[in-house]
Chain A
Amino acid sequence: MPRPLKIANASGFWGDQPDAAARLVAAQPDLDFLTLDYLAEVSLSIMAIIRAKDPAAGYARDFVDVLRSLIPFYQAGGKTKIVTNAGGLDPASCARACAEVLRAANLSRLKIAVVSGDDVLPLLRSSPPTPAKHNPIGYDGAKAGFANLDTGAPLSAIASRLVTANAYLGAEPIAEALRAGADIVITGRVADPSLTVGPCLAHFGWKPTDYDRLTGATVAGHLIECGTQACGGFSTDWLDLPDNHDIGFPIVEVAADGSCVVTKPAGTGGAVTVPTVKEQLLYEIGDPANYLSPDVTVSFLTLRVEAAGENRVRVAGATGRAPTNSYKVSATYRDGYKAHGMLTVFGHDAVRKARRAGEGILRRLQDRGCTYRETLIECLGTGASVRGLASRMSDTHLVETVLRVSVAADTKEPVERFTKEIAPLVTCGPQGVTGYATGRPKVLPIFGYWPCLIAKSLVKPTVQLLA
């Protein structure tokens, strides 16, 4: 029976703690794998913007710095392998930058593999504008015109504004790279749990039809894909956690039967308990009987979650079925511009003053001919995050609020004009306006999110080992 595989996550999103990887291997040098996730739903569109200015920057450059931070570990003989989707839109360039870091450190013995083939933008762009029919499970996305999975709208509605379109590849190409001897696997878009399933496939020699084991590994991958969220980060009872200034990053010890123990390095804060693991299990999950991954269709309904020692929780009993014959595609398209401006208002009637001041900005802009497709005034402190539906007191009790005014438009000009109207409130608004020292708000491009499906037969994942 092969020994369990120890897989940690060192990045839950693009912008997570930069020293997590180095600290994980320092605390636990026997880790078999580090996985690092950089790609949220619209991350690739941000990369597309950066790449427009710098063609060599279509990937998460932060990962190159992470790799640099691991140089002393590898020079001392460290063996932990890495699987990451830091490659973004351009995994080959990411791999070349990493190879350069390794070469300079005399670590060329470490082999890098690139997994690509997820970019399906040309297929979407060339798809005929067929009328869509909403039928989300098990159909051919191309024939259905890549209709929006959520709304059923046809792709033709936004086809001319597409920026990115990437299929969520599965674990098999990652496993193939590892079988070929890769120490570092750099991918573009893959399903987040597949970063963990790939190493399990390669290590345990599972068959693609070992659905229950694949489901166990998928659940393990899902549990760690958001970094510290499995160890009490973002949890309901966060305030009661020990040392919550320094919550540990999660480790799963995956057994040959696909069950796992979730844990974290000794000496780190937070906690791995049945409640913290349960919370993460259902994070961003739809129908718990039909969680679709490219590797397997997962049911969460047979899982057993049980304490197995201090900061150790065992998750077993996974059951799964064959995956569908399509990949999910995350596409993005240009959809105008937006900006948010914020100012603090202090004093008697703070909320009334703030609201009036916000309305004043919008009225001034309207008088000057600016039109917006959407505007929003929020007075933070009043429960505005959920439009006051859980407020505990009347707004009149507040002596302070943060005014947040937002606008969106199809073109850039009216949004840019808006960004110049926030600071003037310091002199033309109510007394007690402050917090204006951060400068004018930025104009942000809006990227619409277009989830759709594509037949697996139309996508060709490729694995390339760097020479």
Chain B
Amino acid sequence: MAAPATIPLREIAFARSGDKGNSANVAVFARTPAAYAWLRDHLTAASVETFFKPLGVGTVTRYEVPNLEALNFILPEILAGGGSRSLRIDSQGKTLGMALLEMPVAAAILKPAG
């Protein structure tokens, strides 16, 4: 049986999202040093912005946090007004971390090197 071409991001990372006004952040943490190297090279601001486009996100900013083997993504205007105003079931971005962990990534990352 052929190995799957993609795996969900959650297999190599964990995450947490939170709100700030109408913006949210999603911090993505690598489960291994190798996963961090992969995430740093492949989980770009552009790919995260494309992923969250259906929610109306603005221009995504990415910050590297190498000492925590983490990437922090700032997602402006993603909460349809945020806090008290948004009509969405998730007005505070509680689900965004879990959503991003569903993102398909290349399964090759799990293969042993060499």
Interface residues, chain A, CB within 8 Å of chain B?
A: 40-42, 45, 150, 234-237, 275, 278-289, 300-305, 332, 335, 338, 340, 374-376, 378, 380, 384-390, 392, 404, 406-408, 444, 446-449, 451
Contact = CB atoms under 8 A, between A and B. Distances in A.
Given A282-B65, A390-B99, A449-B84, A236 B16 contact: yes
A284 B20 contact: yes
Given A45-B84, A300-B65, A449-B82, A279 B21 contact: no
Q: What is the interface of chain A mostly: helix, strand, loop, or mixed? A: mixed
B10 A449 contact: no
Contacts of A234: 16
A63 B44 CA distance: 44
B14 A235 contact: yes
3 A-B pairs with least C-beta separation: A282-B27, A236-B14, A284-B18
A237 B95 contact: no
Q: What is the interface of chain B mostly: helix, strand, loop, or mixed? A: mixed
Contacts of B66: 301
A446 B84 contact: yes
A275 B28 CA distance: 11
A390 B25 CA distance: 18
A408 B87 contact: yes
A388 B68 contact: no
A326 B61 CA distance: 25
B84 A305 contact: no
Nearest to A287: B63
Contacts of B19: 284
Contacts of B68: 278, 281-282, 300, 303, 305
Interface in B8-32: 10, 14-16, 18-23, 25, 27, 29
Contacts of B42: none
Given A376-B88, A378-B89, A235 B16 contact: yes
Given A150-B21, A389-B55, 14 more contacts: A45-B84, A150-B23, A282-B29, A285-B25, A288-B63, A300-B67, A300-B68, A303-B67, A332-B84, A338-B87, A340-B87, A374-B87, A386-B54, A444-B84
A387 B55 contact: yes
A286 B74 contact: yes
Nearest to A283: B18
A278 B29 contact: yes
A380 B89 contact: yes
> Which of A45, A282, A374, A446 has the most chain B CB atoms closer than 10 A to its own CB?
A282
Nearest to A444: B84
A236 B25 contact: no
Contacts of A332: 84
Nearest to B69: A278
A389 B54 contact: yes
B14 to A, nearest CB: 4
Given A236-B14, A384-B89, A279 B27 contact: yes
B96 interface: yes
B21 A386 contact: no
Contacts of A378: 88-89
B88 A236 contact: no
A348 to B, nearest CB: 24
Contacts of B95: 385-386
Given A278-B29, A338-B87, A286 B16 contact: no
Contacts of B23: 150
Nearest to A303: B67
> Which of B83, B84, B96 has the most chain A CB atoms closer than 10 A to its own CB?
B84
A447 B88 CA distance: 15
A280 B70 CA distance: 12
A390 B82 contact: no
B67 A302 contact: yes
> Which of B22, B27, B101 has the most chain A CB atoms closer than 10 A to its own CB?
B27
Contact of B84 (A300, A392, A448): A448
Nearest to A404: B89
5 contacts: A279-B29, A338-B87, A376-B88, A384-B89, A449-B83
A456 to B, nearest CB: 21
A237 to B, nearest CB: 6
Given A284-B19, A286-B25, A387-B55, A236 B10 contact: yes
A414 to B, nearest CB: 14
B21 A449 contact: yes
Contacts of B70: 278, 282
Contacts of A288: 63, 65, 72
Contacts of B20: 284, 286
A404 B72 CA distance: 32
B71 to A, nearest CB: 9
Contact of A42 (B15, B67, B84): B84
Nearest to B68: A278
